[in-house]
Amino acid sequence: MPQKKPVENDKNQLTHFDTSGKAHMVDVGGKSETHRIAIACGTIRMKPETLAVVENHTADKGDVLGIARVAAIMGAKRTSDLIPLCHPVALTRVTVDFTITENSILCQARTETVGKTGVEMEALTAVQTGLLTIYDMLKAIDRGMTITDVRLLEKSGGKTGTWNAENRN
């Protein structure tokens, strides 16, 4: 039996606009406070020799990924400052992991709250800030790096329940 997909809104109506087309910060006052989790990921692709420098800089020689992780966590906390219609959210947890593959670094961020609205944007902002920080530290040796495949992997909590990228429509 296929997994039941979460209810989505009417495809012709964006919740961030009222019926006359004006943007607003959506009313979440009536939503219940639930435990909400989001997991997002993204990748930065680079030349193998650039990647070798990163691998050489995780300990005494300067911790590229350690700094990117701090930036990602701090970025998650700035989400509602950056994204105009995002609600301020009291994050209760943020974790950020990096995985080095052949020619890229994968960043995965997990954000959580107990609140009235989801934390998908916080997870995505963490990923973007982490990857931009890697770009910044490496750009002197490789300006051609590309940030790619930034997306939501999973979210749970709230009225629409659990969603994951595998089973989406």
User: Which residues form the catalytic set?
Assistant: 136
Count the neighbouring beta carbons within 10 Å of the beta carbon of residue 63.
15
Between 4 and 61, CB nearer to a copy of itself: 61
Least distance between a copy of itself and beta carbon 138 (Å): 7
Whether 83 contacts 89, CB under 8 Å: no
CA-CA distances (angstroms) from residue 113 to 44, 110, 147? 27, 10, 27
Structure tokens belonging to residue 139: 């750009």
Least distance between a copy of itself and beta carbon 71 (Å): 5
Between 11 and 102, CB nearer to a copy of itself: 11
Least distance between a copy of itself and beta carbon 3 (Å): 14
Between 1 and 19, CB nearer to a copy of itself: 19
Structure tokens belonging to residue 78: 């700035």
Q: Is 122 annotated as a binding residue?
A: yes
Annotated binding site for substrate: 85-87, 121-122
Annotated binding site: 85-87, 121-122
